Amino acid sequence: MSTTGITIANVSKSFGAGGPAIIKDFSLDVAPGEFISILGPSGCGKTTLLRIVDGLLAPDQGSVRVGGVAPVPGPNIGFVFQSFRLIPWASTARNVGFGLELKGMGSAEREPIVASWLDRVGLSRFADKYPAELSGGMKQRVALARALATDPDFLLLDEPFASLDAQTREIMQLELLRLWEDRQLTALFVTHSVEEAILLGDRVVVMGPAPQSLREIVSIDLPRPRRDEVRTSPEFIALRSYLTGVIRELITQDPNSPFFNRA
């Protein structure tokens, strides 16, 4: 389990000189080993927030501490993207081991780690295949294995399952749960899916249209480990109904939304 957390204090961010704020006065403390789902309508700054936490973007105001220090992109922070971002000319095994290679780890040390992760995500038979030969679900398994192979303390996931079909998406949600339960990394997971946010998270952070930023934090008091059947529990259904209503209200009350005042 991760022994360090994430502190986001009064963070604001805009793009362009004098441009409108994308994120404004956002604060959040993430406990060690906590899984936070970040939910909100398009354009509310979810991805921007994740990039600030990773150190890819600097906030205009406020501060971020990841494990007690300012964030720097690197192997201590695993990042999983929606678009997979696999190296097209590299095999599955080479993609999984890419972060280890960047750390300067030699092939003799790297190979058993890569083999172990390929086995854990069920892709051992595809070690020599290239991204073009893999399905969407397989590519996302490679991306997850690559992010976790470096043994990070933190995991950031930016809508990693959004491009998958519904059935594959549900399988990958459970796959992520299984992998996360092994180490319980401190995790931030951005999603548009209410159901996905509830299934995975210890808390759901709801972000409103920019620059509202933090709208609400909802605790998910569902027992772990979680499995597919939790989706049909009365507690899950009640949380889904409540959060769906919150998101619908945010969208229909946003003057910039095409659904403004269409509740």
Q: What is the pLDDT of residue 229?
A: 93
Q: Which residues contact 213 (CB under 8 A, 6 or more apart)?
A: 23, 24, 25, 26, 44, 45, 207
* pLDDT recorded at residue 1: 67
Axis-axis angle for helices 136-149, 107-120 (nearest 10): 130
- Lowest mean per-residue pLDDT among 61-65, 90-94, 205-209: 205-209
Round to whole Å and give the CA distance between 128 and 109: 19
Tokens of 170: 């549900």
Residue 222, token pair as written in the block: 């569902």
137 within a domain of the structure (yes/no): no
Average pLDDT over residues 127-144: 93
Residue 92: inside a domain, yes or no? no
Complete DSSP assignment for 202-251: SEEEEEETTTTEEEEEEE----SS--GGGGGSHHHHHHHHHHHHHHHHHH
Would residue 20 count as lying in a domain?
A: yes
3-state secondary structure of 128: coil
CATH number for position 24: 3.40.50.300
Domain membership flag for residue 17? yes
**With bands split at pLDDT 50, 70 and 90, how would you rate the model's confidence at 4?**
confident
Taking 90 as the threshold, does the pLDDT of residue 37 lie above it? yes
Domain of 3 in residue numbering reads as 1-76+154-165+186-263
Integer Cα distance of 22 and 49 in angstroms: 9
Q: Kindly state the average pLDDT of the residues 223-246.
A: 95
pLDDT at 15: 83
From 218, 191, 214, select the one nearest 21 (Cα to Cα): 214
What's the domain count of the chain? Answer: 1
What is the distance between the alpha carbons of residues 36 and 190, in angstroms, rounded to a whole number? Answer: 9
Q: How far apart are CA 20 and CA 12, in angstroms?
A: 10
Q: Is residue 245 part of a domain?
A: yes
In a domain, 143, yes or no: no
Q: Model confidence over 59-70: pLDDT tens digits?
A: 999 999 999 999
Residue 212: pLDDT band (50, 70, 90) is low
Q: pLDDT: is 260 or 2 the higher one?
A: 2
**Amino acid 157: pLDDT:** 96
Instruction: Report if residue 34 sits inside a domain.
Output: yes
User: Per-residue pLDDT tens for 159-196?
Assistant: 998 888 888 889 889 999 988 988 889 999 999 999 99
List pLDDT tens digits, range 109-125. 999 999 999 998 999 99
Examine residue 119 and state whether it is found in any structural domain, yes or no.
Answer: no
Mean pLDDT in residue range 22-33: 94
pLDDT at 138: 92
Q: pLDDT grade, residue 81 (50/70/90)?
A: confident
In the block, residue with structure tokens 């994308």: 22
Do 194 and 170 contact (CB within 8 A), yes or no? no
**Confidence band of 77 (pLDDT split at 50, 70, 90):** very high
Mean pLDDT for the chain? 90
